[in-house]
Amino acid sequence: MDFKNMKRTFNQGQYGKRTSIKRVTQHVLMNSHQSSAVFNIVNSIIGSAIIGLPFSIKQAGLPLGILLLFWVAYVTDFSLILLIKGGVLSGTHSYQALVRKTFGFPGYLLLSLLQFLYPFIAMTSYNIIIGDTLGKVLKRIPGVDPGNFFIGLHFIIGVATVLFSLPLSLYHDIAKLGKVSLISAVLTAMILIFVIIRAFTLGPYITRTEDAWVFAKPNAVQAVGVMSFAFICHHNSFLVYGSLKEPTVAKWSRVIHIAVMISALISVLFATTGYLTFTGLTQGDLFENYCKNDDLINFGRFFFGITVILSYPIECFVTREVVANVFFHGNLSKRYHAIVTTVIITMATALSMIVDCLGIVLDLSGVLCAAPLIFIIPSACYLKLSEERWIHPDKIMSSVTLLNGVVVMIVGFVMTIRYPDDCSHGQEMAYCLSTNFFNNSFSSFEPTIQPSVLNTSTVQ
């Protein structure tokens, strides 16, 4: 074997002449950092809020809902890149610093409040989902008393917080969560497969509501709020951007395009198949629509509970950064790092113990927090900082995005207050109470009763 020729071929190949092993290693590491960034963004988008996307289709109408999902995905892609461009133009390295440089101290305080509230509410919703989904799974174990305290919502939330959420949230470097985010993305893909299976095996047994195929519905603006809650990851964008090896706007743009495309495809599939299964009966938490003795979906519930546990630390990173910037000048000692993290998680856990309806959480957080963070603030910062002419495409799109954000925030809030969404509060849907809906064996995907038995649309 001619080792000299092998070396020459290597040195003159993909990496250019006289490329050293060190440079090749750096190239691989840079790709690794970008991959971690992609998975962190995807994990942040398809976290707990993906479970509410079928509900947003119900609010908007199926055709319009799909169009709005793609629109929110496009605006998310645009505004995430715009945000980093604003940071480069202003010479800042955090969302808070960018807004302070652009709009002064009042803008900084408002952004800090929003940037704290959104991930904090997300952490609360994560806890609700963890307790609810894993509780239903544990109740299916033979011989387990459904009323057992140790499989109750509060106990599960407490155990998951102490054993998983808190230890993972104590990390200092968000890049270390890249592998965790990859696992979360794989589990989400498995959940999507289960939801698709049930669309074919369960959907035909559920009566379609009269407005199932309406193009558009009055609550479309509320639907944008729920979609915004799902797609927002702007609050941790600078953290992820900073985790890149030698970060540039070009590298960031590549990461965002890939991450948002993956997230959009998963979100549209999940939203449409979930909605098509239950149409007008779709709940704010899609898993509330499935029967408790559906063992295929119970696997999905288990996977989703794990996914949410793995997504939790990303939100905690952001809340901690906001507290550090506002109260500790951006620096936390090891001691205060642990104390602040523990206090934030304790507060989120306490709040999740008294809230059990995910729909209203997604609506309000979407219109009050997500809409400003996605639509309004990045666009406003860029419009003020950029010296491009007003006919420049970025400025035109920024102006349109800003106006859309204002409409979504104001109209969405009014609609949410005037027309709050119903919530099952953990009760079984009417069609599940008819009889044993599914065989106890996971091996059977087919309902065990006749379709006519399920022709009911009421919620008990």
Q: Which secondary structure element, helix H or strand E, spans residue 325, and what is its range?
A: helix 295-327
> CB of 98 within 8 A of CB of 235?
no
Q: Is the pLDDT of residue 65 over 90?
A: yes
The confidence score (pLDDT) of residue 194 equals 93
Contacts of 251 (CB under 8 A, 6+ apart): 34, 244
pLDDT higher at 442 or 408:
408
Range from 231-235, 323-327, 451-455 carrying the lowest mean pLDDT:
451-455
Mean pLDDT for the stretch of residues 232-252? 84
- Do residues 266 and 189 make contact, with C-beta atoms less than 8 angstroms apart? yes
- Is it the case that residue 457 has pLDDT exceeding 80? no
For 42-420, the fitting CATH number among 3.90.1150.10, 1.20.1740.10, 3.40.50.300, 3.30.2130.10 is 1.20.1740.10
276 Cβ neighbours under 8 A, 6+ residues apart: 62, 199, 203
Cα–Cα distances (Å) from 127 to 121, 227, 352, in that order, read: 10, 20, 6
- Say which DSSP state 438 is in: B
- Among candidates 279, 460, 282, 297, which has minimal Cα distance to 362? 282
215: Cβ contacts below 8 Å, ≥ 6 apart: 61, 62, 63, 64
**Angle value at C-alpha 359, between 40 and 347, nearest 5 degrees:** 65
The per-residue pLDDT for 25 is 36
**Measured distance between the N- and C-terminal CA atoms of the chain, rounded to whole angstroms:** 76
> What is the rounded CA–CA span in Å between residue 148 and residue 69?
40
d(CA 376, CA 151): 42
Distance CA 206, CA 449 (A): 12
pTM > 0.75: yes or no: yes
Mean pLDDT of the region 403-429: 75
DSSP alpha helices (H): ranges in 293-427? 295-327, 334-352, 358-365, 371, 377-385, 393-418
**Domain residue extents for the chain:** 42-420
Q: What is the mean pLDDT of the chain?
A: 79
Q: Is 387 helix (H, G, I), strand (E, B) or coil?
A: coil
DSSP string, 145-197: -TT-GGGSHHHHHHHHIIIIIHHHHT-S-GGGGHHHHHHHHHHHHHHHHHHHH
Check if the beta carbon of residue 134 is closer than 8 Å to that of residue 299. no
Residues contacting 298, CB < 8 A, separation 6+: 136, 137, 140, 292
pLDDT band at 62 (very low <50, low <70, confident <90, very high): very high
Highest mean pLDDT (candidates 58-62, 327-331, 430-434): 58-62
User: What's the rounded Cα separation, in Å, for the pair 142 and 137?
Assistant: 11
Query: Which residues, 6 or more positions from 113, have their beta carbon under 8 angstroms from its beta carbon?
Result: none
Residue 362 has a pLDDT of 65
6-10, 213-217, 270-274, 438-442: range with highest mean pLDDT = 270-274
